[in-house]
Amino acid sequence: MSCLRNFLITPIFCIVVVIASLGLLKCFSPAVKPEIAEDGWWALEEKPKDYPNFLKFQPEEFKIKFEDHMIKDLKERLSKTKFASPLVDTKFHYGINIEHLKSILLYWQNVYDFKKYENELNKFSHYKVEIEGIKVHFLRAKTTAAKNVKPILLIHGWPGSIWEFYKMIPLLLENGSFDIICPSIPGYGFSEAPHRQGFNALETARIFRKLMHILGYEKFYVQGGDWGSLIASLLSAAYPNSIEGMHVNMGIPAYARKSALIKYYLSQLFPSSFLDEIDSAKTTFIGSFFNVLLETGYFHIQGTKPDTVGVALQDSPAGLAGYILEKFSTWTNSSYKDLFDGGLTKKFTLDELLTNIMIYWSTNSITSSVRYYKENICNEDLQFRWSLVPIEVPSGYADFPNELVPITKLGVETKIANLIHFEHMERGGHFGAFEEPELLSKDIIKFINKVEQLKKDEQLKNSK
């Protein structure tokens, strides 16, 4: 570790200086909102001239099914897995622990109850609807209460899926009047993959807004982590009149607000002068950057050559499991890499982790999911122009202490102009909804209640 640190420290310092300089330059650039395309087309065939308006399409019910022939093929592939010889006592420092992975694959092959979790996935209602030429899948769960139902769009990330929200959805329904819509990002799970280049988070935001309009909602709440936080941020920045409020649990690097950005840079030098006790104790930007280098090799591969790694992951269930499970170890808590089993079952059951992997395997969607990185990273509008556009809608942030890249309240405010709620969570890491459904559901409800009260106060003020 010290060798790697010594090798990287000089280039890291140079990179940090460059990033800080670019940030300051952007800070004084004009915040011109980029133009937004009203439509897109992602089908393999050309768009028909008489293609109907998206509101003409109605959702059709959909049942998730793990086909018998797929299960048989999966078990055969697992039984033929070729393993490398493991090094002694590496735990999770070299990635997935091969010896531990062997036991997981045996469990998947011989113990995992495919039909049980097929039924579990179907405990909520599922639908598909055509938008911009592709079939978009979504889960829907609604409170029985008829009055004051508030629509919430929940958005997952990678390597997660809609399954991340299954423990949290009942808690939201028990404690509030909600209509929960949870779509699969196109190219993930049960949503059809785009057949053309260029499908990124902004395109996703537009499609999800259309989905909500099809369901009858002109305005709605949005919540997300990982890619879900970026999509939620773009929905809020691009379509503020459609968003009642935005709640996220991962920060989006941005340069939108000059005063907050300057304070953010100063806080890296003088943390106690600008930050509360919890934020002051967080890793500095330079330290975070070093940790990110150690944990995000996948990011560079998927952001440049996604189809190459996709060949291996789509062909080998063992490879897919190893690739995804390692993220659920170190992204939950970086200290878990010191454990033989990577701490995988400290926050999740093995069945829960395998069900998430089953969504990728059964739908052949791992390659299309990792392409999303290239489409987002290589998009100039997303990386530069949209990072300058502030979010003005009422916003909330759940700050989980073990997030892969720690962010302070000031860091969040470099993007969000109307941050009405910022909560330091008691525990948890990157997969907030999956790890700590009770904590996150309570925080979401707390945030929504604040927004609703602000709306009432505004209405009362205007009525006088």
Please identify every residue annotated as catalytic. 226, 373, 430
Residue 354 to residue 344: CA distance in whole angstroms: 11
- Tokens coding 444: 């979401």
Q: Are strands 150-155 and 220-224 parallel, antiparallel or unpaired?
A: parallel
Q: Where does 225-348 have alpha helices with state H?
A: 227-238, 258-269, 271-274, 277-280, 285-295, 297-304, 306-315, 317-330, 344-347
Residue 364 C-beta-side C-alpha neighbours within 13 Å: 6
Residue 73 to residue 66: CA distance in whole angstroms: 12
Sequence-distant (6+) residues with CB within 8 A of 253 are: 387, 414
Q: Are strands 125-131 and 60-61 parallel, antiparallel or unpaired?
A: antiparallel
Q: In Å, how far from its chain's centre is CA 69?
A: 31
Phi, psi of 220 (to 5 degrees): -165, 165
